[in-house]
Amino acid sequence: MKLKGVNAVITGANQGFGLELAGAFLREGASICICARDGAKLAGAERGLRAINGGGRIIAKTLDVSKEAEVARFAAEAIAAFGRVHVLVNNAGVYGPKGPSEEVDSAEWVKAVEINLFGVFFCCKHFVPHMKAAGGGKIINMSGGGATAPLPRISAYAASKAAVVRYTETLAEELKEFKICVNAIAPGALNTRMLEEVLAAGPEKVGAGFYHKALKQKTDGGAPLAKGAELGVYLASPESDGVTGKLISAVWDPWRDFTAHKNELAASDIYTLRRIVPEDRGKKWS
In this predicted model, what pLDDT tens digit does every residue of 3-21 receive, in sequence order?
999 999 999 999 999 999 9
Strand ranges for 74-163 from DSSP E: 87-90, 137-142
Where b means 16+ CB within 10 Å and e means fewer, 68-95 reads bebbeebbeebbeebeebbbbbbbbbbb
Q: What 3-state class would DSSP assign to 270?
A: coil
d(CA 249, CA 5): 27
Amino acid residing at 260? A
Where b means 16+ CB within 10 Å and e means fewer, 33-63 reads bbbbbeeeebeebbeebeeeebebebbbbbb
The region that residue 267 occupies, defined by phi over 0 for left and psi between -120 and 50 for alpha, beta otherwise, is alpha
- pLDDT, residue 20, reads 95
Strand ranges for 133-268 from DSSP E: 137-142, 180-186, 247-249
Rounded alpha-carbon distances, angstroms, from residue 193 to 24, 214, 229 = 20, 12, 17
Assign 40 a pLDDT band (cuts: 50, 70, 90): very high
The pLDDT tens digits of the residues spanning 160-195 come to 999 999 999 999 999 999 999 999 999 877 667 777
User: Which CATH number applies to 7-188+224-272: 3.30.1490.100, 3.40.50.720, 3.30.70.380, 3.10.450.50?
Assistant: 3.40.50.720
Give the active site residue among 157, 167, 211, 271: 157
Rounded alpha-carbon distances, angstroms, from residue 89 to 86, 158, 222, 264 = 10, 20, 22, 25
The pLDDT tens digits of the residues spanning 137-146 come to 999 999 977 7
Q: Is 157 a catalytic residue?
A: yes
First-residue to last-residue Cα distance in the chain: 55
- pLDDT, residue 224, reads 83
Average pLDDT over residues 243-261: 95
Query: What are the residue ranges spanned by the domains of the chain?
Result: 7-188+224-272, 190-222
Residue 226 has pLDDT above 80, yes or no: yes
